[in-house]
Amino acid sequence: MPRKTDDYEVGYGKPPKHSQFPPGVSGNKGRRRRAETPAEIIARIRDDKVMVNGKRVSKIELAINQVVNKTLLSANPRNLNILLQIFDKYGALPEIDRRAEAEAGAEAAMQKIFSIFDQTVDDDPAIGAELDRHSREEAALIMSCPHCGPELTARWGEEDRKTFSARHGKTGLHKQVEAAQMTKKKE
């Protein structure tokens, strides 16, 4: 008896036609969905829409609207203060107030930058040259003698060197030695 052409043998790796997945569909469902984090749950609930007077609004919008209305109706100064803090934190206050605050902060920052600049930059080239000379002398002293700490300490203790350092800053080596001494004291 002849076999039908669409009929085939069922066996290992050849499941019956009725139990096969249709083309384009996989039998692998993939991994399980991950659980929602608390932040995602709150965000989903917060963004849910509800009907109020025929309009769809988010729950957070409805809650803020109710808090504002109740605060204004109660005329409680404490609640009003809290409400204004919330408005300030989330940008609900007028932009004019924020601009004035930003300008004041920028002005204070510029003053600080200029004061630091004035302390670190010398306009007089003679002072810069003298500071460089001191640095070179100290470096030469360090290079010529391995035990020159007392000599440098004595130089830095001289009155003219102290006044110069107070007005124009210490040399890099002086700063490094002081930092090393501070770390030794901490140990």
Asked if residue 105 has pLDDT above 80, the reply is no
Q: What are the structure tokens assigned to 23, written together? A: 């083309």
Distances from the Cα of 58 to the Cαs of 63, 86, 171, in angstroms? 9, 18, 64
Give pTM, 2 decimals. Answer: 0.33
pLDDT at site 49: 93
Q: Tell me the average pLDDT across 91-96.
A: 60
Range of 126-130, 165-169, 180-184 with top mean pLDDT: 165-169
- Per the prediction, the chain carries an average pLDDT of 76
Compute the Cα dihedral for 51, 55, 61, 67 and give only its sign. negative
Percent of the chain whose pLDDT exceeds 90: 6
Element (H or E) spanning 56, and its range?
strand 55-58
Each residue's pLDDT tens digit, 29-79: 888 889 999 988 888 888 899 998 999 998 888 888 888 888 878 777 777
Radius of gyration of the chain (CA): 39
What pLDDT, on a 0 to 100 scale, did the predictor assign at position 2?
52
State which amino acid sits at residue 97: D
